[in-house]
Structure 1
């Protein structure tokens, strides 16, 4: 349904310096009814990629294709596209107008897009699908009168009211209490089952990815470095970066992998593998013994294509036999 090909997004550098390459060559496909988790540490380009899928950030190169048609960035084309693809933001308090009632917040999309039909019925149906029942009880409430979980359900209802085919959810439960997180995740799974929704869920939480996603894409410094079925990637990770992310989970056996230094500046991406300066496999001599250390430092791995099969952008992982990571399975 959604296809990303060779996407590059850059932002002007500070004081006339080199551009920051926030998304630096990404291919990604999302099928109908599929949930894909995009994971990685802060600053890796996840949110920029998600926003570019909705036309909120214009790429400098590459293209986004939805239902076979390239995404155009004219106001008219984007308005039509956003009836079919909707964004769910991380902070419900920041994305809801405190002066508007729940009814007006959810009805706003209908009014902007002029969807035919009875407005009150559509709003009630969206709130009900989002788990706010009976919906009429919430019509005249304001955001400050709701709990955090209820506010996030209002955000989801506002996206659902247009009956979209794709949801892009940027850290949809990061600001919620642990007791509410499971309810929102269960809601997203139910919506996929009932409505056939596809979703891209942006998160730094590998446990969340394990619980909700069909497929996972691991992003580092503007590129996807590993992708595949969630069970395969999170139980037998091949990229050293994925292994490091999994090693710090509370349930992971063994000692956590502590990555040295900070992620490189996206305006000065290192030559070779962009992870090599922090790579534990290169640092402990494992890559040297496999005969790929020079390649790690000098040759950039190819961009992974957007298909669903297991892929990894790592010279050592491609040279080494597959094995189950000592990190073991992520918690379900």
Structure 2
């Protein structure tokens, strides 16, 4: 049973009006990778950030990690604005750790498991018992007895074991939050459940918070307390995972859910690819692909023109269920 995070708790990590743009290619306008995002993550909360490839999820995650400096807006951690001075960032990255999707690419093939896990301790000048810290991290990550793995190399491990080593490398610094970018995408189905169960157990045992970046709504259902659905640089629907995934309000969320095997009805096939982030459409940024607008339902609700011309406000980063959609707002008002 997922622990419910108490509403009103001060966020551990918070983004406010966050924007990240990149220079356009060959004279094109700047690409708006993150285009106005408010997002809070509470202590002990797991938030799933979901959406198609190219929607801005990884850019948002990198900005929250301090790997990219926002063009506008602010990131706050434990009540303090993120300081981009090198020493301050080093201290921050000890408290907020990244877990990547490809454990093979995350691990140096020439380093033993022990060295891979100890690397963070050495970077941060750890003065305690290194061997004990590495042993504890490997044990927490489910590699027991840990000494049996010390001298192994990545190629001697299974995919699931390699991912556990990556997780141990994050845990060894005793972070307060981890950002997991597609943490099980490269793993066999039989191993995915084990890694998800591990992340939940770490939250329960250590009070660890997590932002899980994924395109897989099934994964979000199994691990998250709250879900934020991202499209073209902005969060378009957010709320407790049970609310959003059992009663999605935004047409984009409905389309993403419709392709799951257990979803009722026919899958919604979205036309085309997400627009170029250097040319974000006016009005609702989803309207050029929206199945609700295409079938005339927005016209019936009297919001078709608003969909094409009126931008929607940035959703607040809190725990309440919210949606950025003219049609959904019209339905709620009826």
With normalisation by structure 1, the TM-score equals 0.96
Rounded to whole Å, the distance in 2 between the matches of 1:34 and 1:254 is 32
Contact 1:292 1:315 in 2 (8 A): yes
Q: Which residue of the other structure, out of 246, 256, 270, is the alignment partner of 1:245?
A: 256
The within-5 A match list for 1:202-281 is 202-281=213-292
Contact 1:171 1:201 in 2 (8 A): yes
The within-5 A match list for 1:64-79 is 64-79=75-90
SS in 2 for 1:321: helix
Contact 1:36 1:214 in 2 (8 A): yes
Q: Deviations over 1:186-215 (max 9, x none)?
A: 000000000000000000000000000000
- How far 1:66 sits from its partner (Å)? 0.1
Q: Which is further off, 159-168 or 247-256?
A: 247-256
Match of 1:314 in 2: 325
- Asked if 1:167 is matched to 2:164, the reply is no
Rounded to whole Å, the distance in 1 between the matches of 2:32 and 2:286 is 15
Rounded to whole Å, the distance in 1 between the matches of 2:142 and 2:50 is 27
Match of 2:8 in 1: none
Rounded to whole Å, the distance in 2 between the matches of 1:123 and 1:322 is 56
RMSD: 1.0
Match of 2:201 in 1: 190
Rounded to whole Å, the distance in 2 between the matches of 1:162 and 1:77 is 16
Rounded to whole Å, the distance in 2 between the matches of 1:102 and 1:284 is 55
Match of 2:99 in 1: 88
- How far 1:114 sits from its partner (Å)? 1.3
- How far 1:322 sits from its partner (Å)? 8.6
Match of 1:301 in 2: 312
Match of 2:62 in 1: 51
Q: Deviations over 1:77-99 (max 9, x none)?
A: 10000111000001000010111
**Are residues 308 and 109 of structure 1, via their aligned partners in 2, closer, same or farther at CA, if it must alter by over 3 Å?**
same
Rounded to whole Å, the distance in 2 between the matches of 1:30 and 1:166 is 9
Match of 1:134 in 2: 145
- Asked if 1:107 is matched to 2:85, the reply is no
Match of 2:9 in 1: none
With normalisation by structure 2, the TM-score equals 0.96
Runs of at least 4 residues of structure 1 off by over 4 A? none
- How far 1:16 sits from its partner (Å)? 2.5
Q: Deviations over 1:245-269 (max 9, x none)?
A: 0011111111111111111000000
Rounded to whole Å, the distance in 2 between the matches of 1:49 and 1:132 is 31
- Asked if 1:22 is matched to 2:33, the reply is yes
Q: Deviations over 1:201-257 (max 9, x none)?
A: 000000000000000000000000000000000000000000000011111111111
Rounded to whole Å, the distance in 2 between the matches of 1:200 and 1:321 is 29
- How far 1:125 sits from its partner (Å)? 0.2
Q: Deviations over 1:85-136 (max 9, x none)?
A: 0000010000101111100010011011112310000000000000000000
Rounded to whole Å, the distance in 2 between the matches of 1:321 and 1:27 is 23
Q: Unpaired segments of 5 or more residues in structure 2?
A: 1-11
- Asked if 1:116 is matched to 2:127, the reply is yes
Rounded to whole Å, the distance in 1 between the matches of 2:314 and 2:105 is 35
Q: Which is further off, 13-22 or 202-211?
A: 13-22
Q: Which is further off, 233-242 or 111-120?
A: 111-120
- How far 1:52 sits from its partner (Å)? 0.7
Contact 1:238 1:322 in 2 (8 A): no
